[in-house]
Chain A
Amino acid sequence: MVVVVMADNASGNGGGKRQPSRPSRRSLLKTASVGAAGLTAGCLGGLSGGDSGVNKITIGGLSPLSGPYSISGERQKIAMEMAVDHAIEAGDTTAEVELLMADTESTPSAAQANAQQHLDDGADFIAGNISSAVAMALGELAQRRDVIFMGGAGDLTITSEKCMSNTFILSDGAVQQTNAALGHALRNDMGSSVFEITVDYSWGESIRGYNKETLIPEHNAEYAGNVFTPLGTSDFSQSLTEAKESGADIINITQYGGDQIRALSQADEFGLMDGDTIITVPSTTVAFAQQVGMDTFSYENLYGGVAYSWKLDTPENNSFVSDFKERSGGKIPLSYTPAYYCGLRMMLRTIEETGSTDSATLRGELEGKSIYPQIWNQGERIRECDHRATAPTMTIQGLPPAEADVENGDIFDIVSVPEQLEQYMRPCEETGCTMS
């Protein structure tokens, strides 16, 4: 059964004291309901919240439905819709729930404009997204409008000095990701020099910075060089030629979405996938491989980090996968699909428990809370210090072509899972996050 953390309830009751922000009619209405509802939550503290005081919840959903991350975005949307239905079926919420969905277009400006629109349309909180740059823009908006943002971002900035009290990050972070991919290769002595091809924005910068300053020196490996490529790069021939020329044992390709597909398939063209070179990708998902076909992904020299795999054998995950497949017409959930499912279910339940959509009340309740449902089944929770989920990033290895089943999304095996949840997360005191 899910543990509901009530330790912060006192601060939850004090939720009437809002962060300084421009008052709006809506936020005043919300504040009025906090006092009584907070009390209810304190008594019941569980699933059958009863008269929660919130009759209608509007969710401002945002997903990259076009652009390089649309493969993930489409499934994220399905998962969010499923979360709402399941929350209602399970009685997690008694309110009427409306899920608004909009495209982030993977650009901060478009995402922020669409999120504004959601909030103007009455959204109580915003949720979704994958891109780090977008997450920052949405986090800032959530802070300004004083609503909760349940999001995802691999970039560490959003959970470092620039962390924001209303932002909760459900995806894994750069350090976890690169420790699962490049870290695995280095720990297992697969090579002693590393060349990188890095996407030129905050997430890529985060990973490269950590690799160059920490991970690679820690293993006494040589840093053979790096090429930055703009997001949406379609021709990697120049950077791959450079990587090959460097003679590095390991090529770390920090690219995601369509860029990753192109980088890997072009690496294959340049003969990098079937030689002795080890290729690592900090974050990947099955869908990329499904698009590319087994020719490019099914190489045993390919290691990657995944925040999640449908192959994960836990009771909650098995039922999540089968429900998702049923709803999506046989599609499998991708790396960041369950994060948003859990995010919405948690939020709906927390609103029911606290009887409030007020950000301060919810924040007090969400900090340290166990993620619900427990898809990873390792007691994963949201850290109080930086608001990042502790779900582990696992290491995967490409299956040999003969064993791979691209159609069913079976193209890699989980080869390693961190032994402790926070093994490859930065310790709280190193994040620099003060929740200002």
Chain B
Amino acid sequence: MIHTELPTVVAQSVSYYFTQTFNGLVLGMILVLIALGLSIIFGMMGIINFAHGDLLLVGAYVAWATVGVTGSLLAGLVVAPLVVAVLGVAFERVGLRRIYGENVLLQVLLTFGLAEFLRAGVEAVWGPGGKNFAIPDWGTGSVDLVLFSYPTYRLFVISLSAVLILGIHLFLTRTDFGLIVRAGTQDRQMVDALGIDISWVFMVVFAIGTALAGVAGALIGPIRGAYPTLGIELLVPAFVVIVIGGIGSFRGTVISGILIGELIVLTGVVYSPAANVIIYVFMAVVLLVKPHGLFGEEGVFH
């Protein structure tokens, strides 16, 4: 496609730039939620979960169905992560557990297979056309933030994501279980040797990681709708977030997630056709300068 028009930089109002920055923040926060789940699972278990995006997809559809029955998105935000976590745990117990320590290719095949299976399942149950659920009544309209106004529901997405991210952080840094998780990511065998049932820890970690995908799916549903490729669309940039942030780094994932969200949106402001490509260029540059990502050398979840 030929784009003859050059990007025009026009002086815009302050509210315009604030709004665009918040648009980037909404996307960034969703990416952080997805990437954190991926990152926790990878850090602890060494599993790259290719099914993560489609677990999110299931979350989005379950939330849609829950809204249909109860009329409440808040109920959907509770039910979706629960259902997805149960699915995740079942998968971990039945499938993943058998291949820990085996060839990494087996993990890829297994999680990829689950991804395909989940997507086919969603299409079989809800059809290929996609579903849209309306913004809940309490989320319609805009909130006046003095310098600019911003859609209420999107502010809710930012706030709830921030609360969840903080909660996960506190859980990992302030609880005994969090300590075990962090220890496990440093040295799995030592934790095992200390008499802690690592298998049980794995299960809980997988449940938390997948539940985050479920929440992300439920949160983004009212904005984007639910459709079969939603998960894949978000999984790819989430992988980029992890790589840029530094694999296994909590702080890196959060900062990188917000950065990527802003990068996509603000690049679109300047030159829209470049918006989807820019993150890969950015990733290449980061990896050239810092091969372990921005915070990659820090160890895990510090």
**Real complex partners, A and B?**
yes
User: Which A positions have Cβ atoms within 8 angstroms of B?
Assistant: 65-68, 70-71, 74, 200-201, 205, 225-230, 232, 234-235, 237-239, 241-242, 245, 258, 261-262, 265-266, 268-271, 291-293, 295-296
Q: Counting CB contacts under 8 A, is B12 at the interface? A: yes
Q: Find out whether the CB atom of B153 lies under 8 angstroms from the CB atom of A241.
A: no
Given the known A-B contacts A74-B129, A269-B153, A291-B130, are A258 and B19 also in contact in the complex, defined by CB atoms under 8 Å?
A: no
- The interface-forming segment of B84-92, B228-236, B291-299 is B228-236
Q: With the chains together, A230 CA to B229 CA distance in Å? A: 15
Using A239-B268, A269-B151 as known contacts, say yes or no to A258 and B225 having CB atoms under 8 A apart.
Answer: yes
Contact across chains for B23 and A241 when beta carbons are under 8 A apart: yes
Residue in contact with B223 in the complex, picked from A71, A205, A241, A266, CB distance below 8 Å: A266
CB neighbours (8 Å) of A71 from chain B are 129-130
Q: Does B62 contact A (CB under 8 A)?
A: no
Whether A238 contacts B128 by the Cβ 8 Å rule is no
- A269 engages B224 (CB within 8 Å): no
Complex: how many Å from CA A265 to CA B139? Answer: 13
Q: Which A residues lie within 8 Å of B130 (CB)?
A: 70-71, 258, 261, 291
- The answer to whether the Cβ of B281 comes within 8 Å of any Cβ in the partner chain is no
Q: B228, A227: Cβ atoms under 8 Å?
A: no
Q: A71-B129, A200-B1, A262-B225 are in contact. Are A238 and B269 (CB under 8 A)?
A: yes
B272→A239 contact, CB < 8 A: yes
Closest-by-CB residue of B relative to A230 is B276
Interface residue B98 (Cβ < 8 Å from any Cβ of A): no
* B230 with A234: CB separation less than 8 A: yes
Contact partner, A200, options B27, B129, B265, B273, Cβ 8 Å: B273
List 28 A–B pairs whose Cβ atoms lie within 8 Å, in order of A's numbering: A66-B228, A70-B129, A227-B272, A228-B273, A229-B272, A230-B276, A232-B229, A232-B233, A234-B233, A235-B23, A237-B154, A237-B265, A238-B275, A239-B272, A242-B16, A242-B269, A245-B15, A245-B19, A261-B130, A261-B225, A269-B140, A270-B142, A271-B141, A271-B142, A291-B131, A291-B132, A292-B132, A293-B132
- B interface, CB within 8 angstroms of A: 1, 3, 5, 8, 12-13, 15-16, 19-20, 23, 26-27, 123, 128-132, 134-135, 140-142, 149, 151, 153-154, 223-225, 227-230, 233, 265, 268-269, 272-273, 275-276
7 closest A-B pairs by CB: A237-B23, A234-B224, A269-B151, A245-B16, A238-B268, A66-B128, A241-B19
Nearest-CB residue, chain A, relative to B149: A271
For B230, what are the chain A residues with a Cβ–Cβ distance below 8 Å? 234
Q: Which residue of B lies closest to A295 (CB)?
A: B134
Q: Which of A200, A230, A293 contacts B134 (CB 8 A)?
A: A293
Q: Which residues of the partner chain B approach A258 to less than 8 Å between Cβ atoms? A: 129-130, 225, 227
Among A74, A230, A238, A291, the one with the most B-chain Cβ atoms within 10 Å of its Cβ is: A238
A residues in contact with B229, CB < 8 Å: 67, 232
Smallest beta-carbon distance A152→chain B, Å: 18
Q: How far is the CA of A234 from the CA of B226 in the complex (A)?
A: 10
A228-B273, A245-B13, A293-B132 are contacts. A235–B153 as well, Cβ < 8 Å?
Answer: no
Task: Determine whether the beta carbon of B224 is less than 8 Å from that of A262.
Answer: yes
CB distance from A287 to the nearest CB of B (A): 8
Whole-angstrom CA separation of A66 from B135 in the bound complex: 25
Distance from A320 Cβ to chain B, minimum over Cβ atoms (Å): 22
Select from chain B the residue with minimum beta-carbon distance to A232: B229
Docked complex Cα distance between A227 and B271 (Å): 9
Q: Is the CB of B129 within 8 A of A269?
A: no
Inter-subunit contact A238/B20 (CB<8 Å) = yes
Known: A70-B130, A270-B142. 6 other contacts (CB 8 A): A234-B233, A258-B227, A262-B225, A269-B135, A269-B151, A269-B154
Complex CA gap A65/B269 in Å reads 33
Q: Which residues of B contact A262 (CB under 8 A)?
A: 132, 224-225
The docked-state distance in angstroms from the alpha carbon of A265 to that of B227 is: 15
A228 to B275, CA, bound (A): 11
| Chain B positions within 8 Å of A242 at CB level | 16, 269
